[in-house]
Each structure stands twice: as C-alpha cells, then as structure tokens.
Amino acid sequence: MRITNVATGDVFYARTANHSTMSIAPGTAGSTTFTVPAMIETGASYLVVIANGIASKHVTITVE
C-alpha cells in the first residue's frame, strides 16, 4: 500500500499481510491487514493499493 501525505507529497509504504484473496478483478471484494510505518506523517493522505504493479484509485484517509 502506498500512502501519500496531501500537504507534503511525501510517500510512505505499508507492508501487507493476511490477504483474503489475491484477485485484482473489478468488483471482487477482499481484505488484508497492513502495518503503517512508525515515521508516517499525520493528516489528510491518499491511500492506494498496488497489485502486480497496477495501482487502484486512491481513497482519501486521515492519518492520526
């Protein structure tokens, strides 16, 4: 997972584990756990999932 801070543009990567599926087919639900880096910047950020080099559309999140 790639997390980009909106204010600074700095990029952070989260390690994923425990995937429920490895499918990247549109409309296929799945889940995973991820570990946020300790040094991540707080505030509004964009979260993108990357599978096989293909990035998803971003989701806006708030890192606290």
Label residue 50 by pLDDT band (50, 70, 90). confident
Distance CA 61, CA 15 (A): 17
Residue 44 has a pLDDT of 98
Tokens in use for 39? Answer: 């040094």
**What mean pLDDT do residues 8-29 have?**
87
Label residue 29 by pLDDT band (50, 70, 90). confident
pLDDT at 19 over 90: no
- List all residues 6 or more positions away from 57 whose beta carbon is below 8 Å from its beta carbon: 48
**What mean pLDDT do residues 11-28 have?**
85
Q: What is the pTM of this model?
A: 0.80
User: Residue 49, CB half-sphere, CA atoms under 13 Å: how many?
Assistant: 14
